[in-house]
Amino acid sequence: MKKLLVGLTVSLSLAGFAHAAGDAKAGEAKAAVCAGCHGVNGVAMIPNYPSLAGQHESYLAKQIMEIRDGVRKVPEMTGMVTGFSDQDAQNVAAYFSAKPKNLGQSDPATLERGRELYRAGDMAKGIPACTACHSPNGMGNAQAKYPVLSGQNPAYTEAALKKFRDGARTNDPNKMMSAIAAKMSDKDIQAVSNYVFGLN
């Protein structure tokens, strides 16, 4: 009986996981509304907007739903995802996740400081290494919903970190990013944002 219950629990968990997965083909039509800011293939040509291509489906779906539900405030997206169901969010996330991610090139001027912060942190300031959550190659952690940073527009990353630091964005798990960004200067934020842009 115990084995049967364990088997049913595993089966139901897997079924739930399969149901939650998005359909990239179904997401293509819904993603058309995103193209103006995020690019047809998910690579944003406007520096202030995030590139979505190659981002984890789990992370993108979470962000879409939280923007829709008002948990994350993004004035530029007001009304854009209001009519999205959870499945629509998963489908659009699957569509962009399947696209090749952006390849950037870091500015040499702040490269060393950015590398230092990303790889080792700054113990004197209490800033942990970014690699702990976002991995050494900047590919994040899909299961934990930690985003891919590799190739992300530096202007967007910089703005996001400042919003975490200033309390304008609060949808980070356990306020981790808020606590870390609070210890970062504008120069630190600029340096690490530049570094991850070229982290390919």
Residue 38 labeled ligand binder: yes
Is 184 labelled a binding residue?
no
* Alpha-carbon span 98 to 116, nearest angstrom: 31
User: Is 1 known to sit in a ligand binding site?
Assistant: no
Contact of 56 with 97, CB cutoff 8 Å: yes
User: Which of 121, 101, 15 minimizes the C-alpha distance to 59?
Assistant: 101
Q: Are 118 and 195 in contact (CB under 8 A)?
A: yes
Report whether 45 belongs to an annotated binding site.
no
Q: Is 123 annotated as a binding residue?
A: no
How far apart CA 185 and CA 191 sit, in angstroms, is: 10
Q: How many CA atoms does the CB half-sphere of 92 hold within 13 Å?
A: 26
Binding-site residues: 34, 37-38, 77, 130, 133-134, 177
Binding-site residues for heme c: 34, 37-38, 77, 130, 133-134, 177
